[in-house]
A and B are shown apart, each in its own frame.
Chain A
Amino acid sequence: MKFSNSKLIKNVNRIKKGIFRHWQLYLLVIPPLAYLIIFKYVPLIGSVIAFKDYSFAKGVFGSDWVGAKHFIRFFKSPQFKMLMFNTIGLSLYQIIAGIMPPILLAIALNYARNRIFKKTVQMVTYMPYFISTVLVVGILSQILSLNGIVNQVIRAMGAEPVHFMGDPKLFRSLYVFSGIWQNTGYNAVIYLAALAAISPELYEAAIIDGASVWKRIFYIDIPSIFPTTVILLILACGRILSIGYEKVLLMQNNMNMQTSDIISTYVYRVGLISMQYSYSTAIGLFQSVVSFVLLVLVNRISRSLNETSLW
């Protein structure tokens, strides 16, 4: 008892000394911590309005408690099934379709023989990453508009022009493939970094053994970038419900609503357009909690499977 007490005092003294000696470091973290509390944790606490009937007059803490009313209303609402289906469908489509393109591009770039050609391809392919979402959607809807280049080609082949942006059946594909168009170059850079880290001796040994390029790709490159793929997949799975409103909101219109309405856009519409603050918060909180649980879960699975994890 006495022993542990003296140990505790020693520890406290050590901490005091450490803080005293580095007081400037503690001074430095005050503004960032204040920022974190004011702009990130206060809204988290403010999420209690999901369990209340928020009224402007009474404020966040004065409003009346209503328990899980808003959650139950959401789960029972006719939109619930559709929103879940649309959100998960869009996410999974995006994840699955997005795995291969950056890997293929990175490997192809890695084996490109002409340096100038390689640099050109690289520069052009990751340029779209810098274009804003507003403009990417602008480009997409211009190219696919009735007078756009795609429909001109369709007309020239004698077929009927397609109203791409208004077709609910096409929304998901347009969303996913414009995303691939924009992000493949960027994601490929991550894989290129992983490929660059492979020891050249491995390749030399393989070449001496007479392994063809195909074999080197399958037995050296792909196993080497596998951990990176897993990390990216973990990140993606954690965000399966929280797929962002930014781009969907820009592509959404009255005609494609039946497939383009996802949880995030619904939260935005119910909250900021029809001002049902508590209901919108309840849906948003549901989304955050599920995402959080998913992320922790997938991370744990991946850690036990192959020793790669996020934290």
Chain B
Amino acid sequence: MNKGKTKNSLSDKMFYLINGLFLLICLLVVAFPLVNVVSQSFSSPKAVISGKVFLLPVEFNLNAYKHIFQNKLLMSGYKNSFIYTSVGTLINIVMTVIIAYPLSRKDFIGRNAITGLFVFTMIFTAPLIPTYLNIKNLGLLDSFWVMVIPGAISVYNMIIARTFFQNTIPVELFEAAELDGASDLQVLKNVVLPLSKPILAVLVLYYAVGHWNAYFDGMIYLNTESKFPLQVVLRNILASVQMIEQMVGSVTLQDAQRLAYVEVMKYAIIVFGSIPVILLYPFVQKYFVKGVMIGSVKG
């Protein structure tokens, strides 16, 4: 295969060696903090505070996690995030498809104007306060809907979907369906959607991850603790030592030990917050790569 091997084989060998080392370093740099955090969360407070934990847990125990599962706020945060993510993503998909499909049709008069209206909001964003006042005037503050409706369409995702429809579904198919007397809605249901499963998977993934990881909207629009999504709860807890001390309040400890306990709790809370992502990651990552590929095709 390598016909030019003779002349450059030494420099090529060097290259592959350096390349492998470089990748190994990348791998370690990314993985080490994650491994360390997980190991700290399973270690004893004493080992954590004295800095004995590197790659593996020291004096393995699950005490921190016991407190977490007893914490009502974290549990309700999980439940809320789950509901916001599922309902929100459903709304996202419906809204994105019903706008991307007409805009992908070349015979849809006004498509350029409408696309322009959407793209403009992406490059010229309204400031924070008018957006907040608008939500307030609509009576959405501290409601369930404020977590699922204001971000109903991401223009970027809409463009990905539109480009996909345009590039993968041949115009002849539309013409044939029209000749057969199929309405535009029937075409969407029976032709476009069945052919668009990969892009739908990508959209679900992008939107769902976005919902799950968002904290800012929850932080500014919600006041009631029981409605907080997980990320807001995590932010509040990680930022305050008192809240964690309350969580371990039932344990009688001296101050120094209490501090150590709080440290372990923080690590465990971080791991606990990442569980859904870690569990789903192996399954979704191939769709994710696909999404980047589709997204990088300019449309």
Q: What residues of chain A have their CB less than 8 Å away from a CB belonging to chain B?
A: 15, 18-19, 22, 24-26, 28-29, 31-33, 35-36, 38-44, 46-47, 49-50, 60, 104-105, 108-109, 111-114, 117-118, 120-121, 123-128, 130-135, 138-139, 141-143, 145, 147, 149, 151-152, 155-156, 181, 184-186, 189-190, 193-194, 206-214, 228, 238, 242, 245-246, 249-250, 267-268, 271-272, 277, 280-281, 283-285, 287-289, 291-292, 295-296, 311
Contacts and interface: CB of A to CB of B under 8 A. Distances in A.
Given A33-B114, A112-B23, A292-B123, A142 B37 contact: yes
Contact of A108 (B26, B48, B277): B26
Interface string B270-287: 100110010001100100
Given A139-B270, A143-B37, 6 more contacts: A113-B20, A139-B37, A142-B270, A210-B4, A288-B125, A288-B126
Interface string B66-77: 000000000000
B134 A281 contact: no
A47 B263 contact: no
Given A15-B109, A33-B114, A124-B30, A134 B121 contact: no
A207 B19 CA distance: 19
Interface string B154-176: 00000000000000000000000
B153 A149 contact: no
A16 to B, nearest CB: 10
Interface stretch (B6-14, B56-64, B195-203, B243-251): B6-14
27 contacts: A22-B107, A22-B184, A25-B102, A28-B184, A29-B99, A31-B98, A35-B95, A36-B117, A46-B130, A112-B23, A120-B27, A124-B31, A125-B27, A126-B285, A130-B277, A132-B213, A132-B234, A135-B274, A147-B51, A181-B33, A193-B296, A210-B4, A212-B4, A268-B128, A280-B129, A281-B128, A284-B129
Contact of A284 (B26, B128, B238): B128
B147 to A, nearest CB: 13
B256 to A, nearest CB: 12
B27 A149 contact: no
A194 B131 CA distance: 37
B84 interface: no
Contacts of B107: 18, 22
A283 B235 CA distance: 27
B273 A135 contact: yes
A109 B24 CA distance: 11
A39 B134 contact: yes
Contact of A295 (B101, B123, B185): B123
A190 B184 contact: no
A242 B128 CA distance: 12
Q: Which of B20, B109, B150 has the most CB of A within 10 A?
A: B109
Contact of B8 (A190, A210, A283): A210
A131 B213 CA distance: 7
Contact of B285 (A123, A210, A245, A277): A123
Contact of B130 (A49, A105, A149, A245): A49
B215 interface: yes
Contact of B149 (A19, A39, A213, A283): A39
Contacts of A189: 289, 292-293
Given A149-B36, A208-B3, A272-B220, A42 B119 contact: no
A271 B36 CA distance: 39
A284 B127 contact: yes
A132 B273 contact: yes
A35 B153 contact: yes
Nearest to B187: A24
B15 A42 contact: no
B22 interface: yes
A133 B36 contact: no
A206 to B, nearest CB: 8
Contacts of A139: 33-34, 37, 270
Contacts of A43: 126-127, 130-131, 133-134
A189 B264 CA distance: 35
A44 B273 contact: no
B29 interface: yes
A124 B27 contact: yes
Question: Which 5 residue pairs of A and B lie closest in terms of their CB atoms, listed nearest first?
Answer: A284-B127, A152-B51, A46-B130, A132-B213, A43-B126
Nearest to A207: B4
B144 interface: no
B215 A272 contact: no
B138 interface: yes
B143 interface: no
A132 B214 CA distance: 7
A285 B127 contact: yes
B2 interface: yes
A127 B281 contact: yes
B36 A143 contact: yes
A256 B113 CA distance: 46
B69 to A, nearest CB: 18
Interface string B32-45: 01101100100000
B124 to A, nearest CB: 5
- Which among B23, B24, B138, B220 has the greatest number of chain A C-beta atoms within 10 A? B23
